[in-house]
Structure 1
Amino acid sequence: MELPLFPTTVVGSWPRTREVLLGLRDRRADRISDADFQKIADQAVLDCLQAQDEAGIDIVSDGEQRRDNFISFVADKLENVKMLTVAELLDYVEDKASFEEILGKLDVPAYSLSNPAAFGKIARRKPIALDEYQFLRRHTDRAIKVALPGPYLLTRSMWVEGLSGAAYPTKESLAEDVVRILREELEDLIREGVAFVQFDEPVLTELVFTQKNANRTFMCGALTAKADAEEELQFATGLMNQVMEDMRGRGTRTGVHICRGNWSTQEDVLLKGPYSPLMPYLSQMNVDQLILEYATPRAGELAAIQALEGKELGLGAVNPRTEDIEAVQDLVNKAMEAAKYLSPEQIFLNPDCGFGTFAQRPMNTIDRSKAKLGVLAQAAQLLRQHYS
């Protein structure tokens, strides 16, 4: 599908309505059937699609309306994976007081987030996102983006010492099955003609910007990362490239999304620092695009994107966590600055992250989210006029 210059897209998630939240809760408690929940979610997806259409977005998503968050939804899709709250994960942490201190500083109550953990050999019970794509495809002619948890995120999240060890003695052994599962899903999505598959790897910034207790993470309850950031980044890069082997050039654009945390509207508790320490690794990832957060000063200077070496940039241009609606000209100026380092054909426009990453803790309202997408589309129109 041919795209215009400066294509606009989303990172994935959209705020859930009260009906969806109740549906998620009732399905989890077996008060309604999965079929009943899917009817609720179907309508929510159509409403999300309409919002993107009205805003003028070129590459749309289903808003992840069927997911409780960007990673834990896989527990319903995979064999031998169960959900644990962060509070339950504390049972597996040696230094409980330190871990609780980190969660407190990061505005993440231990009871409010849940984590998928492997307790046996994992395999796909059913497609991870293929069914979501198939429903959306029936209702739009626009290009579609599908977001999947990245292999490093899944591996760090699901390997919990004391729980996973019987099936997977090390997290590296679990990673082999994670890669296999993601390759199976990617093959299915490519076969179906998905325009864009985005892998989410939000923990990569934590490796370089979190100094204290570097083997702990706020995002996915992973308790196993090595303190050596370089070793972890090499591991993450290798996993991504294993997933992508022989996958490019088959009609589906692929990308990796790296943000600085999207769990709080309080900017001062989110990670801060330039992308430059990550660029040697990101430039080695065998994907078409890097989706990076640049709507906030916390991201550092745009000059770091020079290291992308021919890859596309998904330019984070609006902040999903703020109430203020960005000025169109500010977005135009940011894209023009990016065009000093990459060609206009390499630049896509998107929010920094999702608008509804956690179902129960959306980053913004539906109305403000739609308004932010609207200014994104307006900026793209001005940029097309300027560079055409």
Structure 2
Amino acid sequence: MTKIATTHVGSLPRSQQVVDFIFAREREEPYAEADFDACMAAAVSETVRLQVEAGIDIVSDGETSKISYATYVKDRYTGFSGDSPRNAPADLKMFPGFLQRLADDGGTPKYARPMCTGEVRSKGQGELEKDIANLKAAMAEHGAARGFMNAASPGVISLFLQNEHYPTREAYLAALADAMKAEYETIVAAGLDLQLDCPDLALSRHMLFTDLSDKEFLDVAAAHVEALNHALADVPEEKVRIHICWGNYEGPHCCDIPMDTVFSTLMSAKARYLLFETSNPRHAHEWTVFRDRKAEIPEGKILVPGVVDTTTNFVEHPELVAQRIERFAGIVGADRVVAGSDCGFGTFAGFGAVDPDIAYAKLGALCEGAVLASGGTRDAG
């Protein structure tokens, strides 16, 4: 039997010490850079240890040093200042009482979202190189053979850090693609897999482009993929993972664009590994899209379905995880499936719906389910 590998989407819970350092930097408060760096190195080591202990095969640094998966670019690239308008997803606007409850309970993360107000250029790869060094050292220390590192896609940057400088959205995307190109290539040159986070291909439909038709939105999404593929021109496809999602928050999600609608867009990205949600109640049924459109899945693509949810503290039973994996293995073969999570467990520093210890318990259940789906022993009890 083929052993089904395991991974996750990337972000993991951060310690309070890490969060305090990140927000000191965010608020431009004084801190010792050497202490910051030492904290991040130690935290990444612990994060990798916990992943290995849970059974994860393809590990990450947990995005430990980043304030969030998209807005970290404001610290590493020029051209960002001020603040962007906040726009709640359309599904939450439909239920204003619930939206207010989230706000009152601290259920919406607070962090800076500056506008693009100038030319976007890299400040250098120094911060990225520290992240890479921390991850590779932790992998060597804890015996992890394969790792990946997240990076923001041009499209998701344009979603959260909106444009006030470039003459058109297309020009902004092109500038972002040119600026991010070196980051992508640096990650792969270090021997790591590159993961591009692309909620702009789904979430942005009900967050920023609610006035468009689905067809018009698909034209926007196609432009985002074109910019991404341009930035990946010199990166081998087999080293690239892409993650699409509808927003990592507990909510109605009744405005989510269907997977069937964005399926072709996802398939057009220059990425071998496709990570997507299939555990939460709004998208669990969409495994049938892959079954019914199997002929449209390019031969080289590897499916990485989310087989554990990342917005609730239920720990999935390994049998359920195995069933979810087996559905996709039945479509493309076990050799073209990697078991993953719906989204990240620490999308924003200091904010997460899932208790940190439970997050790792869920990763453990993911790995147990992958063993079962690979032909391991099922517990009769």
TM-score by length of 1: 0.83
The list of structure 1 runs, each at least 4 consecutive aligned residues, that deviate by more than 6 angstroms after superposition, is: none
User: Is residue 126 from structure 1 mapped to residue 124 from structure 2 by the alignment?
Assistant: yes
SS in structure 2 of the partner of residue 138 of structure 1: helix
Q: 1:212 to 1:35 in 2, by over 3 A?
A: closer
**What RMSD in Å do the two structures reach over aligned CA positions?**
3.0
Q: 1:9 to 1:169 in 2, by over 3 A?
A: same
Say if 1:315 and 1:348, in contact at 8 Å, map to a contact too. Answer: yes
Match among 244, 261, 275 for residue 277 of structure 1: 261
The Cα of 1:360 is off from its aligned counterpart by 2.9
Q: 1:26 to 1:204 in 2, by over 3 A?
A: same
SS in structure 2 of the partner of residue 322 of structure 1: coil
Say if 1:71 and 1:149, in contact at 8 Å, map to a contact too. Answer: yes
Q: 1:65 to 1:111 in 2, by over 3 A?
A: closer
Aligned twin of 2:74: 75
User: Is residue 148 from structure 1 mapped to residue 151 from structure 2 by the alignment?
Assistant: yes
The Cα of 1:100 is off from its aligned counterpart by 11
Aligned twin of 1:221: none
Aligned twin of 1:233: 221
User: Is residue 355 from structure 1 mapped to residue 328 from structure 2 by the alignment?
Assistant: no
Say if 2:24 and 2:31, in contact at 8 Å, map to a contact too. Answer: yes
Runs of 5+ in structure 1 lacking a partner? 217-224
Say if 1:293 and 1:352, in contact at 8 Å, map to a contact too. Answer: yes
The Cα of 1:384 is off from its aligned counterpart by 2.4
The Cα of 1:257 is off from its aligned counterpart by 0.3
User: Is residue 202 from structure 1 mapped to residue 199 from structure 2 by the alignment?
Assistant: yes
Q: 1:102 to 1:200 in 2, by over 3 A?
A: farther
The Cα of 1:349 is off from its aligned counterpart by 0.8
The one-letter code of the counterpart of 2:149 is V
The one-letter code of the counterpart of 2:344 is G
Q: Deviations over 1:285-320 (max 9, x none)?
A: 121111010111311320212242221111100011
Q: What is the 5 A alignment of 1:66-215? A: 66-82=65-81, 84=83, 89=85, 109=103, 112-127=110-125, 129-141=128-140, 142=144, 143-160=146-163, 164-165=164-165, 168-194=166-192, 196-208=193-205, 210=206, 214=210
CA–CA distance in structure 2, aligned partners of residues 82 and 226 of structure 1: 32
Q: 1:270 to 1:51 in 2, by over 3 A?
A: farther
User: Is residue 247 from structure 1 mapped to residue 250 from structure 2 by the alignment?
Assistant: no
Match among 341, 348, 351 for residue 331 of structure 2: 341
Runs of 5+ in structure 2 lacking a partner? none
SS in structure 1 of the partner of residue 175 of structure 2: helix
CA–CA distance in structure 2, aligned partners of residues 274 and 226 of structure 1: 10
TM-score by length of 2: 0.85
Q: Pick which of 21-30 and 310-319 moved more.
A: 21-30
Q: Deviations over 1:197-256 (max 9, x none)?
A: 110111221355x3996159xxxxxxxx9992122122122112212224225xx52021
Q: Pick which of 132-141 and 288-297 moved more.
A: 132-141
CA–CA distance in structure 2, aligned partners of residues 302 and 269 of structure 1: 17
Q: Count the aligned residue pairs.
A: 357
CA–CA distance in structure 2, aligned partners of residues 36 and 270 of structure 1: 45
CA–CA distance in structure 2, aligned partners of residues 75 and 99 of structure 1: 28
Q: Deviations over 1:4-37 (max 9, x none)?
A: 7321112111112221222222233323133322
Say if 1:328 and 1:379, in contact at 8 Å, map to a contact too. Answer: yes
Aligned twin of 2:315: 325
SS in structure 1 of the partner of residue 258 of structure 2: coil
